[in-house]
Structure 1
Amino acid sequence: MRTFKQFLGEAEAPQDARAFFEKESHPFIEKADGAGVFLRALKHEPTHYATITLPSGREVSVGRDPVSKDRKPVDLDSRIHTVTDEWMDWKFGIRGRSQTAFVVGDAAIRQIQHYGQVYIAVPQGEFKFLWSSESADLLAYANANDLDERIEGKSDEEAGTIIRSDLNRANYRAIQLPRAIRSWNEIMVECDHMLMIKMEDEDMLKEIKAVLK
């Protein structure tokens, strides 16, 4: 008869990495087409979800992190945040500023390290995404175009017109995920949960990228 401790050990038995991601994240594998993975910086530790074994035999923990459905702006002007969120919902059916996870492709690892612990992030199940081919991120785009100053003192209607005009020039799109991953630009991912693996070294990153091809 199995003890409770033995039962827990069996429940936590490592899963093959390829089989795990094929089951949990097949839509990402298809859309990314081997271009790479998402990276995300966190200041909290995701809840443990599973243990997987990489082809090298290395065992790693996979966390599961819910994607906020009511994200508030931190540095971005609140009117820019709200108008952008509504515009993205109208144009793409995605509330890109309030209901997505912000990630970058793995080429931009040095860019996000100062925001927190870097995790390899993979959407669990179905997902949608948005990115701009013209802008590294919305805050940088707004600053580069003096958007805060241009809407200061304007009515909400006037400010909305100015913001939407800038957004149209930013060339946001919900296609070409491989190109988005290879860029250094922010990608907004709409899904319920992200699978998260703490990136410990570049060898781990290379292995997981190979698994997801």
Structure 2
Amino acid sequence: MKETKESVWELPEEILERVKDFREQYEIETQRENIKSNQQNKEEEEEQEQEKKEKEKEKEEPEQKTEKFAYKEGDQEYNIWYGRHLSDTKSLVRDHKQPAVTRCDSELDTGYTKADISDKYSAYFCHHWAKGCCSEGVKCRYFHRVPSFSECLTIDNSRDVFGRARHSQHREDRGGVGSFLQDTRSLEVNDFKCPPEGVSGIMYGGVCKRVNAASGIGFGRSNKYQMVS
């Protein structure tokens, strides 16, 4: 063997063991990364295949029939004086309204909320609770009870008990929040079907008794020709 006259140094055993451990760890991490990369590629391919199948299925299925009627809030023009949208679909909306799913029971639903603790003298009453559909419960920032007469007097006349802004005139359809120039004490319930006979008794049992439990209405009258009570 030919001599090169070069010095050869052998590494210490401790360093050799470290180098060996490093190589093994590097190979293990490389294998893990390869497995992870292959798995991600496989998942992406499966997602693409699933999307492709869904698109093909959508092409095969017929288009669903759209509803003939829809509840339209109003056109883009908003009347700030009356607090409503200008709409030309009033008759369409009235003829195809759905009955309410929830109803407030003042005896069962009354309870304390955040308003009774933090905003006792400044909060309004919950409009959703009055409909029986408040999802906040005890966390609601409004009162969950029927307002008393003294509480109504403390509220600014420019707003109703729910905090909605009133306007200078009543709406022509007698809806909305009312006028701040007059004290309104009449409640109109409309858009219901009247029976051919015994209108007064049935309307009193079906409408007045339900409303009287919360508002204290002592007298009510019905008009079967206008479907108004």
Q: TM-score, normalised by structure 1?
A: 0.19
Larger radius of gyration: 2
